[in-house]
Amino acid sequence: MTASPSPSVLDLAPVIPVVVVEDLVDAVPLARALVAGGLPAIEVTLRTPVALDAIRAIADGVPDAVVGVGTVISPGQVSDALAAGARFLVSPGWTDVLLESMRASGAPFLPGVSTTSEVVALLERGVREMKFFPAEAAGGAAYLKALAGPLPQARFCPTGGVGPANAPEYLALPNVACVGGSWMLPADAIASHDWDRVEALARQAAGLGSAQV
């Protein structure tokens, strides 16, 4: 039995924004801009002290957002993120302990992989949806294309080095459901609170999916 929900978080939009929230006051307007631009699934990474508070603020203040948590590497982070309102879990890699914690949470999860053996190991454990990370450094679209033949049952969200220039190449692959990235969140736009620009960039990213149909 797989851990994937129906519908899958991978199918909500062609791009999952990977968000690093430095200032808590940015969390809600940033999420509103992404949702308005057509990117409802938002991965808030656990890389800053305010990350859990940001997840809580988005969950409470942006009902149309499907807020998730990224950079999950321990069972404690799983429980903390869910308590804050996270609706899906993303890890850069996985162990059996972490995998079982994510599975037991009942939330959709994307364990990170970068090798064929890791993919096979997850398929053996009933997991079919995965994060491919770090995508470009681990072989990029060519690597995932090579996996599609022998392992067609695996679906991926490549993240790491993915941007508007190479996202279409990934999205054209049969085993790629969406990509993760942060290019729609340029640092200068966040610093100046230019949420209209973030929304415009999010809308462009959301449009990448229609080009692959």
**Could you list the active site residues?**
43, 131
Determine the Cα–Cα distance for residues 92 and 185; give it in Å rounded to an integer. 20
Pick from 189, 182, 127: which is nearest to 160 by CA? 182
Determine the Cα–Cα distance for residues 110 and 133; give it in Å rounded to an integer. 11
Pick from 34, 67, 90: which is nearest to 205 by CA? 34
Determine the Cα–Cα distance for residues 138 and 30; give it in Å rounded to an integer. 30
4: tokens are: 């994937």
